[in-house]
Structure 1
Amino acid sequence: MSEQSRRAQKKALTRAHVRETAQRLFAERGFDGVTIVDVAAAADVAVQTVFNHFATKEELYWSERTPWVVGPETAVRERPAGVPALRALREHLVAAVADHVEGLATPEGRRLVTVMGSSPGLQSAERELVHETERRLRAALLEAWTGRGAEEPRPVRPEVTAGLVAATWIATTRVLVTEPRDPLPAPEDVPGLAAAARELAARLFVRLEADVTEQFVRGRPPVAAEVLRAC
């Protein structure tokens, strides 16, 4: 192994050690009850070492816990040939909703909800991550409809449609995954809640997909609010 490879491996191990130590402390004391100094001491590293790997305490908390931020974007960008972007997005979000709710039965999922519920700062950080998810998805949809090899049919006004789809579909997903966690259900109740969430998500996104696809022909933005009122 080269010296450069050894340094990279050591850096990765240090980052993982700091992250695991911090997340254990957050679970034990709550997010607001732990400082970066506490994390450094428990991990037996310098405070600056923590900051070398994580710019903020919120970033440290969310590290390795946010595959959902890039999930919708990836579903669109990496969809199989011939699969419309909206269908790939719908299928991903329906599965993601069920997965998130099912996670409420696991110790890790329950800790995440409990720690977040006691920290306004974490709740604010989560909302910013949701906005980042929306921004990424909008860009992916716009690429699918206007980029090289753009799919057909496509919206007459792709910029507007991409923005509306990203905002509406991600907001819908957020409601579906957060509503079941307040109050936190008993683990034995989670499978039923997850099944109900999956069914509702499927119905909502099928309607939203149909509405948007219809606008490809009509040449006007999707009327998402009308669809939601009809559910």
Structure 2
Amino acid sequence: MIGDAAMRLFFARGFDAVTIADVAQEADVAVQTVFNHFPTKEDLFFQERESYVTAPSAALRDRRADESIGQALARGYRRLLADYHDAGLLGRGVEYQRTLIDSPALRGRELELRREREDLLAATLAESEPPLSDGLRQRLLAAFASAVDRVLDAEVRRRLLAGEPVDEILTALEPLVGELFNAAEAACQQVRSGP
């Protein structure tokens, strides 16, 4: 598979040292075949891009009637981590994180993905029932949720790089996930609307 071949090379040589031609050779396909599946080299690294970008919005859209926005966002974050774990992505976490940290191009693309995610969440919040009172509150909650996500991701990264087992990391973060997303929602609910 092209994606697996790319990740082997990225982990072995570093992202910036690998070319699309290298990936094509490793996967035994033509260079154009790689581009047919992955428009950019960064897309080869962030193969789970779509689920990452859409996870918070999908969780909000699937929100149960008795579930708060914070609870839905926490559920979505936990689901995304579980999906990554099931796919073996967290098991390769140390290699993945080191490759990401070492590449300015990947760090820049990660920021773009976070912005896409935040924008999509703000748009989904604007459609939610009951709606948040104004567009600024929706943008604020999306920004707070994005900040919570960054803090949690940084903690996962720190623990992976420290050599902690993935199951222990997930167990340790479980209560914190709900607490932080609920705090983000509560902060936005307390913001005064209008003058």
TM bracket, shorter-chain basis: 0.7 to 0.9
Amino acid in structure 2 at the alignment position of 1:141: L
Gaps of 5+ in 2: none
Q: Deviations over 1:132-165 (max 9, x none)?
A: 1101111111111xxxxxx23x4331x1111111
Amino acid in structure 2 at the alignment position of 1:46: A
Mapped pair 1:139 → 2:139: no
Is the CA contact (8 Å cut-off) linking 2:20 and 2:34 kept in structure 1? yes
Kindly state the Cα deviation for residue 84 of structure 1 after the two structures are TM-superposed: 4.3
Kindly state the Cα deviation for residue 96 of structure 1 after the two structures are TM-superposed: 5.5
| Aligned with residue 49 of structure 1, among 33, 38, 52 | 33
Amino acid in structure 2 at the alignment position of 1:67: S
Is the CA contact (8 Å cut-off) linking 1:101 and 1:197 kept in structure 2? no
Match of 1:219 in 2: 193
| Aligned with residue 77 of structure 1, among 61, 66, 69 | 61
Amino acid in structure 2 at the alignment position of 1:80: R
Match of 1:224 in 2: none
Amino acid in structure 1 at the alignment position of 2:28: D
Amino acid in structure 2 at the alignment position of 1:155: L
Q: Distance in 1 between matches of 2:177 and 2:58?
A: 19
Pair 1:48–1:100, CA change in 2 (3 A)? closer
Is the CA contact (8 Å cut-off) linking 2:57 and 2:124 kept in structure 1? yes
Q: Deviations over 1:78-114 (max 9, x none)?
A: 2234544444224433x25875998999532222112
Gaps of 5+ in 1: 1-16, 145-150, 222-231
State the identity as a percent: 38
Match of 1:11 in 2: none
Matches within 5 A, 1:29-108: 29-64=13-48, 67-81=51-65, 83-93=67-77, 95=78, 106-108=90-92
Match of 2:184 in 1: 208
Pair 1:98–1:22, CA change in 2 (3 A)? closer
Match of 1:161 in 2: 137
Q: Distance in 2 between matches of 1:205 and 1:30?
A: 34
Q: Distance in 1 between matches of 2:105 and 2:89?
A: 25
Kindly state the Cα deviation for residue 209 of structure 1 after the two structures are TM-superposed: 2.2
Is the CA contact (8 Å cut-off) linking 1:87 and 1:209 kept in structure 2? no
